[in-house]
């Protein structure tokens, strides 16, 4: 795989994670990892005045973050499998199965989280989008 495609794949892993972590940090001060960051730096910067009844805010906070995570996961699995075009669907199946398992684990009392079937649906669509983008990136090198 060409160097430019590898850079694109790495960017499609890192950028969604950074965006998601930033949104999470700003909008969810009660989340464990956010509290750890606040404790580490000794200060917190959060947006506390967001309406929890606004549809856009609900989508952003509850589903977009999972979508970004699932999207980056597909690229990560594809990268780990060796950037092989034949492994795109294999990577998708691994990523989606992992996403479903992580969501189902939230049903257990030992895991702090909220199971939501819509999380699985939205992650599926984000992971499918990642497959199409990977296919497009890998097709460029054939031309």
pLDDT in tens, 25-56: 888 787 777 888 889 888 888 877 666 778 88
Q: How many separate domains does the chain show?
A: 1
Q: What is the pLDDT of residue 96?
A: 97
Using CA atoms, how far residue 108 sits from 101, 111, 132, in Å, is 11, 6, 33
- Domain extent, residue 61, equals 3-140
Contact 14, 139 (CB under 8 A): no
What is the mean pLDDT of the segment spanning 92-113? 92
Say if CB 62 and CB 71 are below 8 A apart. Answer: no
Cβ-count burial 43-64 (b if 16+ within 10 Å, e if not): eeeeeeebeeeeeeeeeebebb
- Which segments of 1-143 does DSSP mark as H helices, in order? 3-27, 32-41, 55-59, 65-80, 88-105, 117-140
State the pLDDT at residue 60. Answer: 85
């Amino acid at each position: 795989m060409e160097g430019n495609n590898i850079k694109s794949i790495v960017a499609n892993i890192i950028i969604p994670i950074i965006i998601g972590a930033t949104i999470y940090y700003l909008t969810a001060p009660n989340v464990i990892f956010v509290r750890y960051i606040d404790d580490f730096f000794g200060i917190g910067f959060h947006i506390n005045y967001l309406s929890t009844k606004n549809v856009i805010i609900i989508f952003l906070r509850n589903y977009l973050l999972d979508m970004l995570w699932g999207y980056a996961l597909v690229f990560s699995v594809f990268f780990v499998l060796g950037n092989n075009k034949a492994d795109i669907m294999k990577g998708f199946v691994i990523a989606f199965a992992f996403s479903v398992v992580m969501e189902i684990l939230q049903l257990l009392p030992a895991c702090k989280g909220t199971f939501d079937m819509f999380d699985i649906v939205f992650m599926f669509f984000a992971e499918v989008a990642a497959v199409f983008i990977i296919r497009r990136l890998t097709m460029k090198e054939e031309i």
